[in-house]
Structure 1
Amino acid sequence: MRKVLLPTLIIIAASLLVIRLFYLQIIDDSFKLKSDNNAIKIKYDYPERGYIYDRNGKLLVANQPSYDIMVIPRDIKDLDTLEFCQLLDITKDDFLKKIAKAKVYSPRLPSVFLAQLNKSEFAAFQEKIRKFEGFYFQKRSLRDYQVNFGANVFGFITQASEKLVAKNPYYNSGDLIGKQGVEESYEEILRGIKGVKYFQKDKYNREIGSFKEGKYDTIAVQGEDINLTIDAELQKYGEELMINKRGGIVAIEPKTGEILALVTAPSYDPSILVGRQRSKNYTLLYRDSIANPLYDRALLAEYPPGSPFKILTGLIGLQEGVINEQTTYVCNHGFSYAPGRFMKCHDSGPRQLHTGIYNSCNTYFGNVYLRIIGKYSNTPYAVDVWSDHVKSFGLGQFMGYDLPTGKKGKIPNSKTYKKMYPGWGYSGKTIISNAIGQGEIVMTPIQLANMMATVANQGYYYTPHIIKKIKGETIDKKFTTKHVTTIDKKYFAPMISGLFDVYNLGTASALRVEGIDICGKTGTAENYAKIGGVRTKLEDHSIFVAFAPKDNPKIAIAIMVENGGFGATIAGPIASLMIEKYLRGKITRTDLEKRTLERSLQDRYAKLGGQSEAVKLEMRMRDSILKSKTIVPKIKTDTTK
């Protein structure tokens, strides 16, 4: 038995190896395709990306043909480098660097030598390509922007990084991928599926036909079209109003959570990130540390909300039963809440909830906050009760919207103050700035807009989102899931009444639009910065939140203008204009429009660190914008240095 065991094992093992080799070499040659087989050439067929439309079906982003010059380093022979470089308008140093990079990737596999040639560049090179062995064209499609606004909404297309190529098997060197905006969020839907064709080559590296009669070839599938929730005309108008200003505008449809406008300022024309100048232009934008045009202030910038936060202070006071609509506090341009401590206010006289709201009385809401915290004897639990109410409005957390960037903001709780005041060294009087949206509270413009949408809905909201329709698919159900706050619906009616009278009797009475019932709240947030190592008080941020109409609201909006001053000065007029533009499609308050378009804050920004090239161009183009009433590109490659 022992004599036959070893031979038997050898025979069985050899048989298994023979069977496996037979399967791999005769039956299944898929592994052959995956190897670097010198006899097989792979060509990819890149589909068009899906088109992008606004909520009304207006085409925003289409495609245009583009051509990449691909190189296989080992196939380069007898190249006239001088003629080659002159034809493509590159230097010899550029040529050598690109070839060296291609060799590092692979001497035998194709990689991009020069990307995104236009039709004329392609035609000139195509005439002589036979002279340049080792180079060939790869046709792709680039974005063709039908509008010159909304850059932060769309994002842009760029080459996939080598790190991503190594990580994701779908992408090869030179493939294009969406970055930022909806191009990144919906990359897998917009990109489609590329096709693959396999060709046999002879010993002279010439194609001699399809491999296996096209058995392994696949057909490219075009990307799906998408409709955004954005209203193109409102987005365009918002960017006009924010010329020569910095900040953000977010408008939301309360009943659905659909984002109607998402404006960041300063911005740029999205078309400058297309073509051979894309890399150069992106570098200019990226290095502009003064204006930061690539920084989406609507989603990323965190500011103290200021007086709009009084809305939540009042609602929490009602919910916790520490006040009612008749509770009265007397304001004498502020109030003393502790020995030696005084909260200033522009208001005076006895104030209740209604008048406290439309006159924006610090005294009233400071006292309400003290009662909220005092209800639980100034314990850590009291701060957490208050904090939980605030967070039920979607604040202090990532909101879950369908854009790839964002910030949480900050809503403090007992843990926050335990770190700040070890051993419970604080009370409601210590942190009273929270009452009026200062202190440790910071929010992004989109969070402010969502807060106002929640108030408009009297206690609920839907996660803000920018996708309205995907051809052949349904949108994520999380965007149709209702979120209900911890505040009972009955308490919103008196608050909305006060917000309505902000426009009729209060701080925004000069901003009324005849025939539209607008509810709003002005805000002025203190602003400090270190200049020369010294903490310096700067011009306040101008804030305004609103919704309209009062009954059956169709738009909720938040405006933040950096260093804009009082809320009703700059942010307030923008809110009224945006609301009328959306609801009526035209403007009757042309006085507000003219004043807002003409208002520039660049002199204030210059004091903070000079002027960037983007800012200088904006200032020079202001007059043409006022005349044409259309947005023009804010950065042009032939003038920016």
Structure 2
Amino acid sequence: MQYLEGRRYVVLAIFTLVGLLFASRLFYLQVLDDSYKTAADRNTLQRQVQVPFRGLIYDRHDSLLVSNTPVYDLMVVPREVKRLDSAKFCQLMQMPLEDLRLGLRTAKAYSRVRPSPLIQNLSTPELASINDNLINFPGFRVQARMARAYRTQNLAHALGYVGSITPKLLESPKYAHYAPGENVGISGLESYYEPILMGRRGVQYRLVNVRGIDKGTFRGGEFDTLSQAGQDLHLSIDSDLQAYGEKLLAGRRGWIVALDPKTGEILCFVSAPHYEPQLLTGKGSGNRYMDLLRNPDRPLFDRPLMATFPPGSVFKLVNELVAMQLGVVTPATGFPCDQHLVHCTHRHEYPSNVNIAIKQSCNPYFYQVMRAAVVRGQSPNKFEDARLGLGQWQKMVKTFGLGEKLGVDMGHEKRGLIPSPEFYDKLRGYHHWNFKTVYSLSIGQGEIGITGLQMANVLATIANRGYYITPHFVRSIGASGQPLPQYRERHYTAVDTTLFKYLIPGMQEVVDGRGGTGSFASLAQYGISVAGKTGTVQNAHGEDHSTFAAFAPANDPKIAIAVFIENAGFGGTAAAPAAGLMMEKYLRGKVAPRRKRWEDWVMYGDFTKRRH
């Protein structure tokens, strides 16, 4: 009996122990559940960058050229993507499977926990077609932003474009505060003025639980910083003149650059062939960019800044000024038109002074002008004498803004070339060259190379009688009403300002004088005197190039212009009438109907057949 009684207590103890264990288990599970709920409700701090409103761009008459428009990006957080049905996702997004895989790999390479763009530039209708179904695909979300909208069909090379920041740019300290998927100026003014247009980012700290539900601001937003909108740019570009210039050169290869010589403001900047700036925005812009890149006419090539050519006879003006400064010639100096020195293109009166020589563009005359400037008997050794003379010549020529970057507010500007003695030492050998080796420089040929912007700037310098202000596109930034400081300074040449006036009568005769080589640019019928110079640039690979540079009115210049049309022959035949039409458009606000024949000639004429 006592034994059975003992067993009863043992069994009771066992059941009591089991009950206690079961109860403790239930309590433990309850604690875990409460713990989970607490964790689910626990808020985490999330730093959200507020991208500011990008500055707008206007032309000189305050017409809006570039604005902002809402677009949407599909973002992905790789760690949150769970059991993705790739086929259904691609069907919804209308994207190839390979693009999805590539996008996910790229996003993972950047970060598994931060959002990266998968599809960019979705329009509002495109967003509406997918938005309701995104809930079925964890890890994907839509992010709204502002994209560029170009309200002009012109000026693409100058405006540039905005695109998603590249991995290469992200590696640069300059772009350290950008994140993948954010927009940045890629080229043109959009790139050069990026810090000004972009503004200042803001930061907002939000409380978000693990389910991604926003729980409000952190501590009332005391640590938040407001974003600051980018400043607007007011350009010096005349939109009507720009559109007219692009119309004239449609179907051609070449460029037109026009400046206000008094301010250095760029009035038009035509690179032909051109394209519409809107092509490089929105969905599919990458494919359109590749189409432009593969185009054999190279529409993406910024000719006024990046193409360097010999300037031809326009350069004779610079050589004459340098020679007068050195005291080896005067405005009254005459030289015979000696065909044994260099070929002259046509018969003309004896160049007994600089005015006749400029009017007739006499090659032998300017050969002898430069020879007098270089060969000055500074050394008994003819090779050393040429080295010394050319070195002094080069230094003076470069003060016209040649052979160096002018510093325009655009990237990718080429410096061109004004050859030095060291250049020819390397090319020919030390003391193995003399003036006869380099004489082609006297007529703007040979190794010399300048850009379209530089050529227009040379004419602005002559128009100002000896100085220039660095050419620039932006005349006013934001509320300041001023361009950047470097675009308000005068740069004087090494030539005395009193000497420039001696070139003007001859340049006027080029255009308005009887038998002048640039008569097709004349505006005399409107009471406007034009001072100009034609140029025909020799081309070993085909038809010569046509160029013309001028300013008007001659005695109170308001526009300086340079025109270059590839493979168009004589400067007076193609480039001169184009420049005349552009100056008429700017100075009078219109082109007279009776001048329509010149428009047709510039746009459709066969320049290889010289027109009289």
TM-score by length of 2: 0.87
Q: Given the alignment, which residue of 494, 504, 516 partners 1:496?
A: 504
Name the CA shift for 1:151/1:510 in 2 (closer, same or farther; >3 Å). Answer: closer
Q: Are 1:577 and 2:581 matched, yes or no?
A: yes
SS in 1 for 2:340: strand
Q: Given the alignment, which residue of 102, 105, 114 partners 1:109?
A: 114
Q: Are 1:308 and 2:314 matched, yes or no?
A: yes
Question: Paired residue for 2:36?
Answer: none
> Which is greater in Rg?
2
Q: Given the alignment, which residue of 134, 140, 148 partners 2:139?
A: 134
| Greater strand proportion | 1
Amino acid of the residue matched to residue 510 of structure 1? F
Question: Paired residue for 2:540?
Answer: 528
Q: Given the alignment, which residue of 505, 522, 530 partners 1:518?
A: 530
8 A contact 1:53–1:228 mirrored in 2: yes
Q: Are 1:509 and 2:519 matched, yes or no?
A: yes
SS in 2 for 1:172: coil
**After alignment, is 466-475 or 370-379 more displaced?**
370-379
SS in 2 for 1:149: coil
Pairwise CA distance, 1:213: 3.4
Pairwise CA distance, 1:368: 0.9
Q: Given the alignment, which residue of 593, 598, 608 partners 1:592?
A: 598
Pairwise CA distance, 1:78: 4.1
Question: Paired residue for 1:3?
Answer: none
Unaligned runs of 5+ in 2: 1-41, 379-384
SS in 2 for 1:60: strand
Distance in 2, Cα, partners of 1:404 & 1:247? 20
SS in 2 for 1:581: helix
Distance in 1, Cα, partners of 2:438 & 2:116? 59
Q: Percent identity?
A: 39
Pairwise CA distance, 1:175: 0.8
Distance in 1, Cα, partners of 2:479 & 2:161? 24
Distance in 1, Cα, partners of 2:211 & 2:464? 72
Question: Paired residue for 1:374?
Answer: 375
Q: Are 1:97 and 2:102 matched, yes or no?
A: yes
Name the CA shift for 1:594/1:70 in 2 (closer, same or farther; >3 Å). Answer: same
8 A contact 1:449–1:558 mirrored in 2: yes
Amino acid of the residue matched to residue 403 of structure 1? M
Pairwise CA distance, 1:224: 1.0
What are the Cα deviations for residues 520-555 of structure 1, in whole angstroms up to 9, with x where unaligned?
1110011124xxxxxxxx111111100000011000
Distance in 2, Cα, partners of 1:124 & 1:471? 39
Pairwise CA distance, 1:348: 3.8
Q: Are 1:432 and 2:443 matched, yes or no?
A: no
8 A contact 2:43–2:215 mirrored in 1: no
Q: Are 1:282 and 2:282 matched, yes or no?
A: no
Distance in 2, Cα, partners of 1:599 & 1:39? 71
Q: Are 1:62 and 2:62 matched, yes or no?
A: no
Amino acid of the residue matched to residue 582 of structure 1? Y
Q: Are 1:171 and 2:172 matched, yes or no?
A: no
Question: Paired residue for 1:25?
Answer: none
Question: Paired residue for 1:451?
Answer: 458
SS in 2 for 1:375: coil
8 A contact 2:520–2:580 mirrored in 1: no
Superposed CA RMSD: 1.9
TM-score by length of 1: 0.83
SS in 2 for 1:39: strand
8 A contact 1:245–1:600 mirrored in 2: no
Pairwise CA distance, 1:296: 0.2
Q: Given the alignment, which residue of 481, 485, 493 partners 2:493?
A: 485
Pairwise CA distance, 1:439: 1.5
Pairwise CA distance, 1:182: 0.6
Name the CA shift for 1:330/1:114 in 2 (closer, same or farther; >3 Å). Answer: same
Pairwise CA distance, 1:475: 2.6
SS in 2 for 1:343: coil
Amino acid of the residue matched to residue 481 of structure 1? E
Aligned residues: 552
8 A contact 2:280–2:289 mirrored in 1: yes
Pairwise CA distance, 1:598: 2.3
Pairwise CA distance, 1:584: 0.8
Distance in 1, Cα, partners of 2:115 & 2:448? 53
8 A contact 1:330–1:349 mirrored in 2: no
SS in 1 for 2:321: helix
Q: Are 1:180 and 2:217 matched, yes or no?
A: no
Distance in 1, Cα, partners of 2:328 & 2:374? 10
Distance in 1, Cα, partners of 2:605 & 2:57? 33
Write the mapping of 1:145-544 to structure 2, written as runs, cut at 5 A: 145-167=150-172, 168-288=175-295, 290-331=296-337, 334-337=338-341, 342-351=342-351, 352-377=353-378, 378-473=385-480, 474-505=482-513, 506-513=516-523, 514=525, 515-529=527-541, 538-544=542-548
Unaligned runs of 5+ in 1: 1-36, 530-537, 605-641
